[in-house]
């Protein structure tokens, strides 16, 4: 969606962005940013440069603001601010860009009424192109947020090297690093909550909600904070809610479709791939007060629509579904394999909290099969259509 409607204004804006981009390089935002600022931050703020800033900004657009190391210029309703060896650029009416409380933090905001902040750490980066976005990177080092679209809320931080990239509209919130539960929804964690590193999120689509990779603070619900690192999420589609990988390490989720609910959390190295619409997939462990936080190394692949898969409190389970409106449950179970090809099939593998069901194999091919294995070990079941076990 263009920022301006007529071609003449778009051309002027493109030229303006080019001028400000050139100015940004001169000020040290971009290649060699930290080296330039460390080398001579005071020299960059001399009177000659200040005059050059003013002239360039006036030629650019009515709403431009540039700030580097606490020195800059503003025109119109855009506002950029910085402190220390950090830099920020805001282009667009009522846009804000803030870089502070660290070294090498950079923010570029292009759009109307968008906000970008990089703070509380070093070498955090925010780039926003679009309207009414709210983006933050910080509370750690090397965190990155990139947004292209409108009305998105995106965060990366509460640790190091977290990344969130969003292309689309009304995705909110997208949180790489840490999420805190409050009053029925999730938002940013407190600045002091750390220990969440290397989480990545990529979202392409619209109206995806509660997309979280990293740690979870459910202290308001009486559940202790659990950190998470190296979790990854890739979403391509619309209205997926929630998509959550975390409260553990190395969980991976890919979603290609719409209106899916996918969670791989509360333990480590769970992998979930969903292709289709309106699927519900949970690979979850228990919180500590409810029992051992099992649910590691599970693999779930779903291709189709309106399937329900629950892999609770177990390890090393594999579930593969290719079809529609199937149900598969592996509860209190380890090392089980479930494969369903067809529609309207049901598979249940499980045990009790003190009696895990292990080593079972269920294969259902065709439609309307039903298999239930409770408190059984090393059982193999094959159904080929319209069959029930036991």
Q: What is the pLDDT of residues 172-212, one digit of tens each?
A: 999 999 999 998 899 999 999 999 999 999 999 999 999 99
| Average pLDDT estimate for 216-227 | 88
Closest to 362 in 3D by CA, of 340, 338, 390: 338
Closest to 310 in 3D by CA, of 325, 290, 293, 330: 330
The answer to whether residue 346 sits within a structural domain is: yes
For tokens 């509660």, the residue is: 210
The answer to whether residue 321 sits within a structural domain is: yes
Closest to 27 in 3D by CA, of 18, 19, 35, 36: 36
Q: For residue 291, what pLDDT is reported?
A: 53
For tokens 């090397």, the residue is: 142
Confidence band, pLDDT 50/70/90 cuts, at residue 362: very high
DSSP conformation letters of 17-85: HHHHHHHHHHHT-STTHHHHHHH-TTGGGSHHHHHHHHHHHHHH-SSEEEEETTEEEEETT-EEEE-SS
For tokens 């460390």, the residue is: 38
DSSP conformation letters of 134-163: EEEEESSSS-EEEEESSS-EEEEESSSS-E
Mean per-residue pLDDT over the chain, rounded: 86
Confidence band, pLDDT 50/70/90 cuts, at residue 21: low
The answer to whether residue 294 sits within a structural domain is: yes
Confidence band, pLDDT 50/70/90 cuts, at residue 388: very high
Cα atoms in the 13 Å half-sphere on the side-chain side of 164: 33
Q: For residue 24, what pLDDT is reported?
A: 55
Distance, C-alpha 74 to centroid of its chain: 32
The answer to whether residue 370 sits within a structural domain is: yes
Confidence band, pLDDT 50/70/90 cuts, at residue 36: very low
Which DSSP symbol is given to 11? H
Specify the number of domains making up the chain: 1
Q: For residue 48, what pLDDT is reported?
A: 56
The answer to whether residue 66 sits within a structural domain is: no
pLDDT digits (tens, 9 = 90+) for 43-73: 444 455 455 445 544 544 689 999 999 988 8
Range of the domain at 303: 266-390
Whether the pLDDT of residue 101 is over 50: the answer is yes
The answer to whether residue 218 sits within a structural domain is: no
Whether the pLDDT of residue 268 is over 70: the answer is yes
Helices 7-27 & 47-60 angle (0-180, nearest 10): 160
Q: Is 12 helix (H, G, I), strand (E, B) or coil?
A: helix
| Average pLDDT estimate for 342-368 | 93
Confidence band, pLDDT 50/70/90 cuts, at residue 115: very high
| Average pLDDT estimate for 130-138 | 97
The answer to whether residue 176 sits within a structural domain is: no
Return d(Cα 58, Cα 64) in angstroms, integer: 8
The answer to whether residue 366 sits within a structural domain is: yes
């Amino acid at each position: 969606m263009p920022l301006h409607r007529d071609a003449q204004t778009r051309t002027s804006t493109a030229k303006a962005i080019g001028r400000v981009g050139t100015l940004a390089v001169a000020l040290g935002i971009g290649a060699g940013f930290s080296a330039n600022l460390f080398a001579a931050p005071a020299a960059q703020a001399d009177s000659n440069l200040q005059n050059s800033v003013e002239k360039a900004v006036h030629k650019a657009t009515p709403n431009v603001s540039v700030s580097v190391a606490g020195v800059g210029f503003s025109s119109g309703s855009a506002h950029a601010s910085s402190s220390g060896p950090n830099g920020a650029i805001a282009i667009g009416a009522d846009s804000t860009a803030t870089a502070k409380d660290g070294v090498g933090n950079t923010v570029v905001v292009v759009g109307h009424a968008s906000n970008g902040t990089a703070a509380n750490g070093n070498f955090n980066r925010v780039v926003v192109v679009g309207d009414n976005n709210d983006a933050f990177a910080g509370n750690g080092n090397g965190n990155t947020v990139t947004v292209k679209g409108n009305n998105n809320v995106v965060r990366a931080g509460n640790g190091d090297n977290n990344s969130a990239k969003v292309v689309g509209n009304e995705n909110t919130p997208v949180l790489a690093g840490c999420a805190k539960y409050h009053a029925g929804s999730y938002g940013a964690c407190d600045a002091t909550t750390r220990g969440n590193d290397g989480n990545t999120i990529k979202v392409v689509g619209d109206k995806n909600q509660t997309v979280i990779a990293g740690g979870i603070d459910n202290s308001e619900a009486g559940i202790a904070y659990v950190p998470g690192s190296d979790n990854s999420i890739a979403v391509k589609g619309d209205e997926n809610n929630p998509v959550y990988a975390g409260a553990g390490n190395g969980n991976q989720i890919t979603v290609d479709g719409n209106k899916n609910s996918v969670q791989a959390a509360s333990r480590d190295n769970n992998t979930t791939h969903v292709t289709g619409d309106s699927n519900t997939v949970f690979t979850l462990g228990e919180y500590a007060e409810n029992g051992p936080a099992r649910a590691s190394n599970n693999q779930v692949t779903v291709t189709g629509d309106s399937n329900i898969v629950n892999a609770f409190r177990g390890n090393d389970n594999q579930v593969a579904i290719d079809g529609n409106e199937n149900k598969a449950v592996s509860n209190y179970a380890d090392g089980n394999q479930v494969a369903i090809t067809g529609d309207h099939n049901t598979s249940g593998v499980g045990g009790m909290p003190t009696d895990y069901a292990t080593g079972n194999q269920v294969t259902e091919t065709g439609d309307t099969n039903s298999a239930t294995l409770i408190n059984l070990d090393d059982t193999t079941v094959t159904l080929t259509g319209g069959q029930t076990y036991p």
